[in-house]
Amino acid sequence: MLELGIVAFFVFGACWLFGALLAGLLKLTFGFFGVLFGGLFGLFTFGLVALLVVPIVLLALLPLLMPALCVAVVVWLIVHASRSNPATPTTH
């Protein structure tokens, strides 16, 4: 009778181990798909929010960026004014 109990516990333990391994495999598989689809949904949502928020933030920062933009425009005007016109032939 003792041997039958040991065999029964062994079979029960083997079934329990197999079920735990199967459950772990399913958990990893569904977790992978959940991360994959959740990550894609998160990136999509982040992209939509960025499309809505970035123009508002840039308009809010425009007064702070105005001096730098003015300096950049002046430098651009000086560089383009100092170039020679490529349509006119130059003599060497």
- DSSP code per residue over 40-88: HHHHHHHHHHHHHHHHHHHHHHHHHHHHHHHHHHHHHHHHHHHSPPTTS
Would you list the domain boundaries of the chain?
Answer: 1-81
Let me know: does 90 contact 84? Beta carbons within 8 Å. yes
Residue 91, classed as helix, strand or coil, is coil
Let me know: does 27 contact 19? Beta carbons within 8 Å. no
**Per residue of the chain (92 residues), what is the pLDDT tens digit?**
888 889 999 999 999 999 999 999 999 999 999 999 999 999 999 999 999 999 999 999 999 999 999 999 999 999 998 887 766 666 66
Residue type, 67: P
